[in-house]
A and B are shown apart, each in its own frame.
Chain A
Amino acid sequence: MTAGKHRHLAVLAAIWAALIFAPYWMPLFGGYTALGSRVLVLGLGAMALNFLLGFTGVLSFGHAAWFGLGAYACGLTLKFIAPSTPLGLLAGTLIGGVAGALLGALLVRRRGVYFAMVTIAFGQVFYYIAFQWSSVTGGDDGLRGFARQPLDFRAFQIDLLHSDLAFYYFVLVCFAGVVAVMAFILRSPFGRTMIAIRENERRARFLGIPVELHIWIAFTLSCFFMAFAGGLYALLNNFADPRVLHYSLSGDFVIMAVMGGMRMFWGPLLGAVVFVVLQDYLSSVTVNWMSFIGVLIVFIVLFFPRGILGLVRARRTA
């Protein structure tokens, strides 16, 4: 028991050390700081999706909707309301999260394929709104004319715009905060009811858990996390376009989670590392980079259904 605990702490320390020193070791492997920020932001999105998929057992195929709403709300706040990075993130998180909570209430009675289909439909509604409403969103050209603002601590300021390194650490701190909240919830009595629903919904119901309410809460939390990641994504690019709402991005998040290992807390982050790095590398070689990812995901699902991290775990216990 204690040996397991020590190993767990050692793994955690290794993950955080790798993340903290990423800007210094990544260049050795051809990486660059902005790529690290991108991995963290998309990894956070994949973990937010997996909060629902891996720990409640509910598949949403439209989570880009909340990611994209977070991105647009953050960008629009910076552009039109207040030139403040924290305010932009706050607005993005609230708008994406509240929209998720409201629409989630309509969803929770659906299960399986029906749930996934309705989430796709909701996502596409937001996609077409962003696409058509050019006067506000910039339409197909995307939302421009905003940039991440310096963090103002009165005594000193941190320039996030011109220093990729400063922005990386800003993203890392945000990432750490959200991930800590997720881990905290998953270890709570409420988190255990999520697992109970994933494991056996009927049993959960006959143990006195109002399943619909608990799925709705898990869905809503997941949307807030997702919208926060979307806000960071707008800051990362100083730009948002309708593709951040598109179901193909929802699919990318699902791929990251499944590829990395959706039953594992850190699985989706590993999936995001593989996905984003492959995308970055392959897309400079061929426009058909997605077909390589496709082959990889088929390979993983067929031979390692528990994902890359699941494979590592299985080896260790075997």
Chain B
Amino acid sequence: MSVLEVRNLSKRFGSLVAVRDISLRVESGELRAVIGPNGAGKTTFFNLISGFLEPSAGAILFDGRDVNGVPAYQRVELGMARTFQITEIFPELTVFENIRIVTEVAAGYRLRPWLSAAEKAEVRRRIEATLALAALSGKADRLVGELAHGDQRAAEIAMALALKPRLLLLDEPTAGMGDQETYEITQLIRRLHQDRKLTIVLIEHDMRVVFHLADRITVLDQGSFLAEGTPQEIAANEAVQTAYLGQAA
């Protein structure tokens, strides 16, 4: 079954149509890249899926369930986690504390005035597992705001992972990174995809990353669906080349 299915999704801001009649299906365990020139509507598309914006028309089905009108925090509870184009973390807390907040929320403890010793131990075990997965174990006691940019992105992905998502939405995970950092984040995403069989949708500008990671690619242009296919099909697609070259010219 599709983890995510989008049917004829549109979003208008006044007279501007940011997303126009887009449909797609993402299968369980798939890694889907969404690409497109600037202004293609990629981030708006993500905001619609994650509940940050309500669509003007169309439907979003998560695990076969229509999530229209479901508030953002409940979509998270259903298993949808996202990161942001500009890193969104708790900068004045340590890496450990950042992950702890998420882990406790994911465990359903967010309203609890206290935890039993067993629950605390379980939370700690999960935090350590998440830190290890994101290769942040050695930086647990550092303030996130003081970390290098690449580590901050890794911390943000780790926070999303601590939610134990069924669908992970990554908005430009390598934005603003150098080659080495890009490589490390790419390896992290690859591990999540191949080892954990996590379903991932990512927006990305770096084509090396996209063609390296993605099972399938969806191309948007000026808010509309342009093409979809395997990396090889997309690379050979004339309409896609025109859209990118047209923008570059």
Contact = CB atoms under 8 A, between A and B. Distances in A.
A52 B52 CA distance: 26
B90 A206 contact: no
Interface stretch (B59-67, B104-112, B190-198, B219-227): B104-112
A193 interface: yes
Contacts of B109: 189
A203 interface: yes
Contact of B88 (A195, A203, A210): A203
A207 B163 contact: yes
In this complex, the member of B77, B102, B106 whose beta carbon has the largest number of chain A beta carbons within 10 angstroms is: B102
Contacts of A214: 110
Contacts of B52: 206
Contacts of A193: 101, 104-105, 110
Interface string B163-184: 1000000000000000000000
Given A192-B100, A203-B90, A208 B105 contact: yes
Given A206-B82, A207-B102, A189 B91 contact: no
B71 A192 contact: no
Nearest to A203: B88
B215 interface: no
B203 to A, nearest CB: 15
Interface residues of A, number: 22
Contact of B92 (A184, A185, A188, A199): A199
B156 to A, nearest CB: 9
Contact of A190 (B50, B93, B97, B113): B113
Contact of A185 (B81, B82, B89, B113): B113
In this complex, the member of A193, A199, A202, A211 whose beta carbon has the largest number of chain B beta carbons within 10 angstroms is: A199
Interface residues of B, number: 33
Given A199-B92, A200-B90, A189 B106 contact: no
A192 B76 contact: no
Given A192-B101, A203-B89, A203-B90, A209 B73 contact: yes
A184 B113 contact: yes
B115 interface: yes
Contacts of B13: none
Interface in A164-216: 184-185, 188-190, 192-193, 195-196, 199-200, 202-203, 205-211, 214
Contacts of B111: 189-190, 217
A184 B22 CA distance: 49
B110 A209 contact: yes
A184 B115 CA distance: 12
B112 A208 contact: no
A97 B104 CA distance: 28
B73 A189 contact: no
A205 B71 CA distance: 9
B71 A210 contact: yes
Contact of A205 (B73, B101, B102): B73
A301 B64 CA distance: 54
A140 B63 CA distance: 64
A199 B105 contact: no
B88 A188 contact: no
A192 B104 contact: yes
Contacts of B93: 195, 199
A205 B97 CA distance: 17
A188 B72 CA distance: 24
B88 A200 contact: yes
B159 A207 contact: yes
A184 B114 CA distance: 8
A169 to B, nearest CB: 28
B105 A206 contact: no
Contacts of B71: 210
Contacts of B114: 184, 188
B92 A208 contact: no
Given A206-B76, A207-B101, A208-B105, A190 B91 contact: no
Q: List 4 tightest A-B contacts by C-beta distance, closest first.
A: A208-B76, A199-B90, A203-B88, A189-B104
Interface of B: 50, 52, 71-74, 76-77, 81-82, 84, 88-93, 97, 100-102, 104-106, 109-115, 159, 163
30 contacts: A184-B113, A184-B114, A185-B113, A188-B112, A188-B115, A189-B111, A190-B110, A190-B111, A192-B97, A192-B104, A193-B104, A193-B105, A193-B110, A195-B90, A195-B101, A199-B92, A199-B93, A200-B90, A206-B76, A206-B82, A206-B84, A206-B88, A207-B76, A208-B74, A208-B106, A208-B110, A209-B110, A210-B71, A210-B73, A211-B73
Given A199-B92, A208-B77, 18 more contacts: A188-B114, A189-B104, A189-B105, A189-B110, A190-B113, A192-B97, A192-B100, A192-B101, A192-B104, A193-B110, A195-B93, A200-B88, A206-B81, A207-B105, A208-B76, A208-B105, A208-B110, A214-B110
